[in-house]
A and B are shown apart, each in its own frame.
Chain A
Amino acid sequence: MSKYAQNKTSWGTSYGELVWQEFSKSWLSKICLSFIVFLFTLAIFAPFLANDKPFVIRIDGQLHFPIFRNLQPNDYCIFLAAIAGCLQLLLIKRNRRRIDPSIRAAVLWRQICINSSIVLIGIILLLIFVPRRLDARDYKALVASDKATDAVFAPIPYGYGRTNLKLREQPPNRQHWLGTDDVGTDVLCRLIHGSRISLSVGFVAVGISTIIGVMVGAVLGYFGGKVDFVGMRIVEIMMAIPAFFLIITIVAFFPRSLLNIMIIIGITSWTVDARFIRAEFFKLRKQDFVQAAVSLGLPLRSILFRHMLPNGIAPVLVNATFGIAGAIFIEAALSFLGFGVAPPTPSWGQMLSLGVSTTGRFLWWLSIFPGLAIFLTVLAYNLVGEALRDAIDPKLRIQ
């Protein structure tokens, strides 16, 4: 304990800690962050929260565990990524106590690289080796006809793919808390499963656009001259096309899948990051520490990404937070227009588009709840981004 306290005082606070302190001063940003964490929890544990299969069931005197048996490869992928994420957070906490601040960023960078490559390899292995399962057995009917006993169902005992035309377009009632949609699927269940699409689109699309933007911006800003001139023309081309038009063109022309949507949002929104980083690198290029790195003969990769990037990354991270909100909105808009992932995969935008039925009836529960989900998620990300922007702004910190 005493050692810990001693170290704390002698090491001072790093830039990241300073930003975090500033960020967590506001209760609003804390609420938004907790809401995002809550959403992630919902998305990760979706099959355990809303599922038409029971956790445990006794059929002919034998115990079965249908939910666990029916986890799909993508469920395992999500669990793996979640575990890795939690591990990383624990590591960051441990680094604060154990690692000297001067090398902390480098250690963190290495940890993230190792961690994410393990996750990537794991996901590929899981997708190859874990079989997709299909269990069409109607466990509720088994329980109703006394063929099975001791069944423990999920809190929302409906599946997102199960249709029941007898129960179509029902307003909220005691069985279906948020009503049912046009094919009789429970809306709450679809909302919970739909959070997976929105959150993953936000993350992956922004990941892609940030990586492209940082790479391009770094090269343009560092080299300048002709490289910069040609590169900026390409950036200009990307900026001059109306973005949403470009996105719906590509989405409409290429096969529909979640991965395609992520990639398309990613490759159409990197220009802002590229311009940020380029401007930052223009300024940094002339500074002494960069000149020193160059004269030491360090490789270009090291100069660009080890020495220069950490000084220009903060505005990019803020922009990424807004970018996640934007990507979630674009995915919802695409699904709303009918360009999203194919049903029965649930997506908030697609559910919202069912709010006006084919006969022209206004189904308020299919409008309000998915729309509210999109709104709250986008708002939470935007507010976090706003708080982060204020937190990294040194002008505000002095006051």
Chain B
Amino acid sequence: MSTYIVRRLLLMIPTLLGITVMVFAISRIAPGDPVSLSMGPGGQMDAERAADVREARMRLYGLDKPVHVQYGIWLRRVAQLDFGDSIKHHRPVIELIKERLPITLTLNIIAFVIIYAVSLPLGVLTAVRHRRFFDRASSVVLFMLWSLPVMWVGQMLIGYFCGPAFKQWFPPAGLNSNYADQLPFFPWLVDRLWHLVLPVLCLTYAGFAYLTKLVRAGMLDNLRSDYVRTARAKGLSNWAVIFKHAFRNSIIPVITIMATLLPAMLGGSVIIERIFSIPGMGWLAFEAVTTRDYNVVMAVATIGGVLNLLGLLFGDIAYAIVDPRISFESAV
């Protein structure tokens, strides 16, 4: 088992290098650079001085060197876990990410728990009621939820529940009300949760369909199999057959998918964080991309890539641990 994990970890290195090379190349090949973007069309300065300032700032950020040299410098710094400074915020990128990552993680983990809490029972129920009214109706509803564009849902929720158009139930933006820091802990928590209701709703509704379908398919396969028939023939109760026999076996893919879903959700919340003005990772990525903040772009891509690869690895390990039929020797 340990040889397998070491092998996989070693294979991650070239993949990770590939990711950084690709994102680095994209950002440097594209026309334009952060300096000219932040300086704008020139303003009051005469052309010669503007060119001087430009050159000095290019040198400051190390953008005057050839691309491959820049990449080498970047790589050496990253090997020491230093992602450089943000050009826009004039602060270390690592600090920015330390601020933003917990926000996005909280949001996603809450959404994650809700998705699992709804989808597992729903999947079992639809499988038990296979091809009956409940099964068909819920699959249509989930399918519609899955197809709902998230920016539309977010905007409608803000429009109708956060403003004078209909009801002003929820705050439209941010994570806390003004001056929330002065509140004691419990009211502060309530305030925070109140702000999280709509974003979490937007993050969850699309996930139900996928997971429910997975649980349902697994349950259907298991309910048709011989050992379930045997269990029924032994005279076990319906409840015991479903939950003690079929459910336990059909939960295998559901567990393994958990590891791969979480990193995917980290990157996918750009739109939601934009709509609800939540200063998380998605917002940071969006900001970095629009202002050409190279160091932040690279850091987000690298960290996202590492999380994704680790997620895949954990998924495979979990798969082998949960299901004894799968061995590491064959699964390479």
Q: Indicate if A355 sits at the interface (CB-CB under 8 A).
A: yes
- Chain A residue numbers with a CB within 8 Å of B249 are none
Q: Which of B66-74, B188-196, B297-305 contacts A (4 or more CB under 8 A)?
A: B297-305
Q: Indicate if B187 sits at the interface (CB-CB under 8 A).
A: no
Q: Which of A34-42, A46-54, A375-383 contacts B (4 or more CB under 8 A)?
A: A375-383
Q: Which of B43-51, B95-103, B250-258, B268-276 contacts A (4 or more CB under 8 A)?
A: B268-276
- Chain A residue numbers with a CB within 8 Å of B137 are none
Q: Among B18, B274, B300, which residue has the most Cβ atoms of chain A within 10 A?
A: B18
Q: Indicate if B285 sits at the interface (CB-CB under 8 A).
A: yes
Closest to A249 in B: B289
Do the beta carbons of A250 and B26 come within 8 Å of each other?
Answer: yes
Q: Indicate if B233 sits at the interface (CB-CB under 8 A).
A: no
Q: Among A240, A255, A386, which residue has the most Cβ atoms of chain B within 10 A?
A: A240
* Contact size range, A: 35 or more
Name the interface residues of A354-399: CB closer than 8 Å to any CB of B: 355-356, 362, 364, 367-368, 370-372, 374-375, 378-379, 382-383, 386
- Separation of A243 and B149 alpha carbons in the complex (Å): 17
Known contacts A249-B23, A355-B159, A371-B152; A244 and B270 CB within 8 A of each other = yes
Known contacts A240-B305, A242-B308; A333 and B271 CB within 8 A of each other = yes
Do the beta carbons of B271 and A364 come within 8 Å of each other?
Answer: no
Known contacts A240-B308, A255-B31, A336-B151; A248 and B158 CB within 8 A of each other = no
Closest to B303 in A: A242
Q: Indicate if A325 sits at the interface (CB-CB under 8 A).
A: yes
Do the beta carbons of B151 and A249 come within 8 Å of each other?
Answer: no
- Separation of A142 and B233 alpha carbons in the complex (Å): 86
Do the beta carbons of A244 and B308 come within 8 Å of each other?
Answer: no
Q: Indicate if A213 sits at the interface (CB-CB under 8 A).
A: no
Name the interface residues of B290-332: CB closer than 8 Å to any CB of A: 290, 292, 297, 300-301, 304-305, 308-309, 312
Closest to A377 in B: B147
Do the beta carbons of B267 and A252 come within 8 Å of each other?
Answer: no
Q: Indicate if B235 sits at the interface (CB-CB under 8 A).
A: no
Do the beta carbons of B290 and A252 come within 8 Å of each other?
Answer: yes
Do the beta carbons of A237 and B22 come within 8 Å of each other?
Answer: yes
Q: Indicate if A4 sits at the interface (CB-CB under 8 A).
A: no
Do the beta carbons of B147 and A382 come within 8 Å of each other?
Answer: yes
Q: Indicate if B32 sits at the interface (CB-CB under 8 A).
A: yes
Choose from A233, A255, A356, A375 the contact partner of B18 (Cβ within 8 Å).
A233
Choose from A245, A252, A253 the contact partner of B300 (Cβ within 8 Å).
A245
Total of A-B residue pairs, C-beta within 8 Å: 127
- Separation of A386 and B147 alpha carbons in the complex (Å): 12
- Separation of A254 and B267 alpha carbons in the complex (Å): 21
Q: Indicate if A349 sits at the interface (CB-CB under 8 A).
A: yes
- Separation of A374 and B274 alpha carbons in the complex (Å): 19
- Separation of A336 and B154 alpha carbons in the complex (Å): 12
Do the beta carbons of B304 and A242 come within 8 Å of each other?
Answer: yes
Known contacts A242-B304, A367-B156; A378 and B149 CB within 8 A of each other = yes
Q: Indicate if B264 sits at the interface (CB-CB under 8 A).
A: yes
- Chain A residue numbers with a CB within 8 Å of B143 are 379, 382-383, 386
Give min CB distance, A245 to chain B, whole Å.
Answer: 5
- Separation of A234 and B18 alpha carbons in the complex (Å): 8
Q: Indicate if B202 sits at the interface (CB-CB under 8 A).
A: no
- Chain B residue numbers with a CB within 8 Å of A250 are 26, 30
Do the beta carbons of A375 and B148 come within 8 Å of each other?
Answer: yes
Do the beta carbons of A374 and B304 come within 8 Å of each other?
Answer: no
Closest to A237 in B: B18
Do the beta carbons of A356 and B158 come within 8 Å of each other?
Answer: yes
Closest to B139 in A: A386
Q: Indicate if B146 sits at the interface (CB-CB under 8 A).
A: yes
Give min CB distance, A233 to chain B, whole Å.
Answer: 6
* Contact size range, B: 35 or more
Known contacts A249-B26, A332-B151; A382 and B159 CB within 8 A of each other = no
Q: Indicate if A337 sits at the interface (CB-CB under 8 A).
A: yes
Q: Indicate if A329 sits at the interface (CB-CB under 8 A).
A: yes
Name the interface residues of A250-299: CB closer than 8 Å to any CB of B: 250, 252-255
Closest to A363 in B: B159
Closest to A336 in B: B151
Q: Indicate if B286 sits at the interface (CB-CB under 8 A).
A: yes
Give min CB distance, B135 to chain A, whole Å.
Answer: 14
Known contacts A249-B26, A371-B156; A382 and B146 CB within 8 A of each other = yes
Choose from B15, B147, B156 the contact partner of A236 (Cβ within 8 Å).
B15
Give min CB distance, B200 to chain A, whole Å.
Answer: 19
Q: Indicate if B121 sits at the interface (CB-CB under 8 A).
A: no
Name the interface residues of B1-40: CB closer than 8 Å to any CB of A: 11, 14-16, 18-19, 22-23, 26-27, 30-32
Known contacts A242-B264, A253-B32, A382-B147; A356 and B309 CB within 8 A of each other = no
Q: Among B18, B31, B147, B286, which residue has the most Cβ atoms of chain A within 10 A?
A: B147
Q: Indicate if B138 sits at the interface (CB-CB under 8 A).
A: no
Known contacts A249-B27, A253-B292; A242 and B151 CB within 8 A of each other = no
Closest to A370 in B: B152
Give min CB distance, B190 to chain A, whole Å.
Answer: 26
Do the beta carbons of A362 and B159 come within 8 Å of each other?
Answer: yes
- Separation of A378 and B152 alpha carbons in the complex (Å): 13
Known contacts A236-B15, A237-B15, A237-B19; A374 and B267 CB within 8 A of each other = no
Choose from A240, A356, A364, A386 the contact partner of B19 (Cβ within 8 Å).
A240
Do the beta carbons of B26 and A371 come within 8 Å of each other?
Answer: no
Do the beta carbons of A362 and B165 come within 8 Å of each other?
Answer: yes
Do the beta carbons of B14 and A233 come within 8 Å of each other?
Answer: yes
- Chain B residue numbers with a CB within 8 Å of A249 are 23, 26-27, 289, 297, 301
Do the beta carbons of A329 and B149 come within 8 Å of each other?
Answer: yes
- Separation of A378 and B145 alpha carbons in the complex (Å): 11
What are 15 pairs between A and B in contact, CB < 8 Å? A237-B22, A240-B15, A240-B16, A240-B305, A242-B266, A243-B267, A245-B301, A245-B304, A252-B290, A253-B32, A333-B149, A355-B155, A371-B155, A378-B147, A378-B149
Instruction: Contacts A253-B26, A254-B30, A382-B146 known; list 4 others, CB within 8 Å.
Output: A241-B304, A242-B301, A248-B285, A368-B156
Closest 9 CB pairs of A and B: A242-B267, A371-B152, A253-B30, A362-B159, A237-B18, A379-B147, A252-B289, A240-B308, A336-B151
Interface residues of A (CB under 8 A from B): 233-234, 236-237, 239-246, 248-250, 252-255, 325, 329, 332-333, 336-337, 349, 352-353, 355-356, 362, 364, 367-368, 370-372, 374-375, 378-379, 382-383, 386
